[in-house]
A and B are shown apart, each in its own frame.
Chain A
Amino acid sequence: MDVLSYLATPFTDPLMLVAVALGTLAGVYVGAIPGLTGTMAVSLLVSLTFGWSTNVALAAMIGVYIGAVFGGSRSAILLNIPGAPAAVATGFDGYPLAQKGKAAQALGITTTMSCVGGIFGVLCLAFLTPLVSKISLNFSPVDYFLLGVMGLMMIGALGGGSMVKGLMGACVGVLLGRVGMDNMSGVVRFTFGSTSLMAGVPSVVAMIGLYGFSEALMQLKSRDFTVVKQDVKRIVPQFKEVVKHFWLTLRCSTIGMVVGALPGAGGTVAALLAYDHARRTTKNPEVPFGEGAIEGLVAPESSNNAAVGGAFIPMLTLGVPGDAITAIIMSALIVHGMQPGPLLMQNSKDLFYIVVSLCLIANILLLPFGLTGIRLFAKFVEIPKGRLFPIIVILAVTGAYVTNNLTIHIGWMLLFGFLGYLLKKFKYPASPLVLGIVLGNMLETNMRNGLVAFKGVGGFIGSIFTRPITFILFLVLFYFAVSRMRWWKAMMSKIKGFFKGLFTKKKA
């Protein structure tokens, strides 16, 4: 009974409802602007909410968080500039769809699936919190390392058929991500004496350059500025389309929720793993992956929104934030006199259920708010390329600058853009490079922590066979690796053929 009254709290306070609604709406549009991330919006909001009541402040922050995670997909689909790292995978198929005049359809399906994934994540938050927090607490650095390697397995999907080319891009990304001060030893690496390189390469800046600026350079090679007319008649996806992808949505939402609950992993890794999962398990997509497959939108979007619910689990139950935004929300809660952590369920049970209720409301509101402005946004892509690409560059420059208020980041953005352009020209995929930058830190930090924790290389490798979670992850990783190989595919088709033959014989 208490639980129901806690869950109903937002409905008894109109201010909370207004705050979560406005927060979600603002988040959707903030997330869609390159450079303005959800982390930035929530941190700006924190300073405003000090004088507010805890529940209203929490409502606004949760609204912005959920709205911004979804909003990142808009710029990824329309401009090929992901609004946030979690939307990188959305652009793989979203941008090709926009290029075919189907931006509205892509935005419609991402809104619906983000909503479904988000609600799934919240339900898991409500019912599975003790279990998931227990599992995530048992994750060792080696497990995080294996998770990072799994994320890198995406390279097979992005390498344009060549694993070697994909891995080369990823290695360049990982190495560029090592530029700057090492966060474990404090030693400055690969800066070549330049102080401006000490801050390192922010992944958002690299992403903006590699996707936005390089695309402009690629497409401006000729003056054929044919306008792609956008079909904006069908925005809301048909019910049968949602049902068709429902099983995939549930699987990807589960990936999102579990990965989101792992501190430090977050929606980016979740979305990449989900995209890879969709690519492996979708037998006959209507359009190939990378060319506008709907499944390529369903998977990352349901997953990164489910990761939001997951990210709250360790924050509320262990006092360990799941990602950067939950870290900010946690510090805001502490300022408001709350103490997220193991004692929260005993001392402030109401707070837990209020968070669940607010997340649920924000995800439901995502559907109407996410579908607003789609016609206007889709029209943006209809601007002739001779005008659109200079606008994209201005947005990319602004976005790169505002991430840290450093002009050097504009230079980085241009450099990454040129690098991406060269890679595309030489037929190397640019996405593994982004993946390398995003996952490089996770890989290195956890490899080194694992080596310390398990006392050397022997202990590190030994832990794979002595810890059940690590062993399961290793088996999954092993399957990921071998299932890409020709002999495995040939063997599986033989086995399938054998069983098929067996059943048809029986029937006969």
Chain B
Amino acid sequence: MEDKKLASAQPETPAEQLPAEEEKKKETLVPGGRYLSTILFLLFGVVFFVQSVQMFIDDPRPQGYGTFPMIVSGLLIVLTIIDFIEKTQIKSSIAGLSFKDKFVAIIKFLFPINSFVFLLMSIAFYVAIELGCPFLIAAPVFLLGSMCYLIPHNIVKNLIYTAVIIAAIYAIFTLLFKVSLP
């Protein structure tokens, strides 16, 4: 419901067909689009900038190893500020809500339940492989688990898909190209 509301707030006409001013009037910022995205970009830029400056101090030549990342991270900080200023002219879709409601809206927007569960399953799959679980065990479990979560009504078909895909991957990578799987 939340997503549908947000989607309807977005302009449906291709951006190029609208004059810039008119487009700006119709546009609304997604939840977290003003502050959260700016903070993330700024944080990333500042971390890299501070490290680059330290490198530049160690080797202050223009061709030194700190110069290029310093220029790029500095540029990122400037661009983030420009982007933030541009965004102040656009209305936020969560304007007027209390801090708590804003927080909930951002979480709901960023992590719809399906995407969130799928993300957790993928991370669990990676952790299992990192901990030494063989690919040929972890992969079918992930594949079947995620398919059954997303399409719960046809488990037999999900099993067939899992078996065919794992067999195909094993045949192509291990048997044909002699590439080892994790």
Residues in A lying within 8 Å of B, measured CB to CB: 30, 33, 36, 41, 44, 160-162, 164-165, 167-168, 171-172, 174-175, 178, 182, 184-185, 187, 189-190, 213, 216-218, 220-223, 225, 288, 291, 383-387, 389-391, 393-395, 397-398, 401-402, 405, 407, 410-411, 414, 417-418, 421-422, 425-428, 443-444, 447-449, 451-452, 456-457
The CA-CA distance from A394 to B126 in the complex, in Å, is: 11
Cβ–Cβ contact A401 & B182, under 8 A:
yes
Chain B residue at smallest Cβ distance from A168? B79
Cβ 8 A contact of B118, one of A168, A217, A447, A451? A217
B147 within 8 A of A: yes
Chain A residue at smallest Cβ distance from B131? A407
Q: Is the interface of A mostly helix, strand, loop or mixed?
A: helix
The CA-CA distance from A91 to B66 in the complex, in Å, is: 34
The CA-CA distance from A178 to B65 in the complex, in Å, is: 10
The CA-CA distance from A393 to B121 in the complex, in Å, is: 11
Cβ–Cβ contact A390 & B30, under 8 A:
no
Cβ–Cβ contact B122 & A386, under 8 A:
no
The CA-CA distance from A444 to B69 in the complex, in Å, is: 9
Given A189-B55, A221-B115, does the pair A387, B126 have CB atoms closer than 8 Å?
Answer: no
Chain A residue at smallest Cβ distance from B83? A164
Cβ–Cβ contact B75 & A220, under 8 A:
no
Q: Is the interface of B mostly helix, strand, loop or mixed?
A: helix
Contacts of B146 in A (CB 8 A): 389-390, 393
A36-B177, A44-B177, A390-B118 known; 5 new pairs, CB 8 Å cut-off, are: A171-B79, A386-B151, A393-B142, A414-B122, A414-B123
Cβ 8 A contact of A161, one of B3, B15, B150, B169? B15
Cβ–Cβ contact B179 & A402, under 8 A:
yes
The CA-CA distance from A167 to B76 in the complex, in Å, is: 8
Chain A residue at smallest Cβ distance from B79? A168
Contacts of A171 in B (CB 8 A): 45, 72-73, 75-76, 79
Q: Report the minimum CB–CB distance from A418 to chain B (whole Å).
A: 7
Cβ–Cβ contact A389 & B65, under 8 A:
no
Chain A residue at smallest Cβ distance from B114? A220
Contacts of A386 in B (CB 8 A): 147, 150-151
Residues in B lying within 8 Å of A, measured CB to CB: 3, 14-16, 23, 30, 32-33, 36-37, 40-41, 44-45, 48, 51, 55, 59, 62-65, 67-69, 72-73, 75-76, 79-80, 82-83, 86, 109-110, 112, 114-115, 118-119, 122-123, 125-126, 129-130, 135, 139, 142-143, 146-147, 150-151, 157-158, 161, 165-166, 169, 172-173, 177-182
Given A168-B80, A387-B151, A452-B63, does the pair A222, B72 have CB atoms closer than 8 Å?
Answer: no
Contacts of B86 in A (CB 8 A): 162, 164
Across chains A and B, which 3 residue pairs bring their CB atoms closest together, nearest first? A386-B150, A171-B76, A386-B151
The CA-CA distance from A216 to B150 in the complex, in Å, is: 12
Chain A residue at smallest Cβ distance from B74? A171
Chain A residue at smallest Cβ distance from B117? A220
Contacts of B82 in A (CB 8 A): 164
The CA-CA distance from A44 to B182 in the complex, in Å, is: 19
Q: Report the minimum CB–CB distance from B154 to chain A (whole Å).
A: 9
The CA-CA distance from A395 to B122 in the complex, in Å, is: 12
Cβ–Cβ contact B180 & A405, under 8 A:
yes
Cβ–Cβ contact A288 & B76, under 8 A:
no
Contacts of B72 in A (CB 8 A): 171, 174-175, 178
Q: Report the minimum CB–CB distance from A473 to chain B (whole Å).
A: 20
Cβ 8 A contact of B165, one of A167, A185, A190, A391? A391
Contacts of A407 in B (CB 8 A): 126, 129-130, 182
Interface centre among A30, A168, A213, A443 (most CB of B within 10 A): A168
Cβ–Cβ contact B150 & A220, under 8 A:
yes
Contacts of A449 in B (CB 8 A): 63
Contacts of A389 in B (CB 8 A): 118, 146, 150
Cβ 8 A contact of A175, one of B69, B172, B181? B69
Q: Report the minimum CB–CB distance from A293 to chain B (whole Å).
A: 12
Provide 13 A-B residue pairs closer than 8 Å at the C-beta atoms, listed in order of the A residue.
Answer: A36-B177, A160-B15, A161-B23, A165-B83, A168-B79, A185-B59, A187-B55, A220-B112, A384-B151, A389-B118, A401-B135, A407-B182, A447-B63
Q: Report the minimum CB–CB distance from A60 to chain B (whole Å).
A: 15
Chain B residue at smallest Cβ distance from A221? B112
Q: Report the minimum CB–CB distance from A343 to chain B (whole Å).
A: 34
Cβ–Cβ contact B62 & A391, under 8 A:
no
The CA-CA distance from A115 to B112 in the complex, in Å, is: 44
Given A171-B72, A405-B180, A427-B33, does the pair A222, B112 have CB atoms closer than 8 Å?
Answer: yes
Cβ–Cβ contact A225 & B48, under 8 A:
no
Contacts of B55 in A (CB 8 A): 187, 189
Chain A residue at smallest Cβ distance from B17? A288
Q: Report the minimum CB–CB distance from A153 to chain B (whole Å).
A: 15
Cβ 8 A contact of A217, one of B37, B115, B166? B115
The CA-CA distance from A405 to B135 in the complex, in Å, is: 13
The CA-CA distance from A428 to B69 in the complex, in Å, is: 22
Cβ–Cβ contact B32 & A397, under 8 A:
no
Q: Report the minimum CB–CB distance from A285 to chain B (whole Å).
A: 11
Cβ–Cβ contact A167 & B143, under 8 A:
no
Given A168-B41, A387-B151, A451-B62, does the pair A426, B32 have CB atoms closer than 8 Å?
Answer: yes
The CA-CA distance from A443 to B86 in the complex, in Å, is: 29
Cβ–Cβ contact B147 & A387, under 8 A:
yes
Cβ 8 A contact of B109, one of A161, A387, A425? A425
Contacts of B109 in A (CB 8 A): 425
Cβ–Cβ contact A391 & B143, under 8 A:
yes
Cβ–Cβ contact B16 & A161, under 8 A:
yes
Q: Report the minimum CB–CB distance from B80 to chain A (whole Å).
A: 6
Cβ–Cβ contact A390 & B172, under 8 A:
no
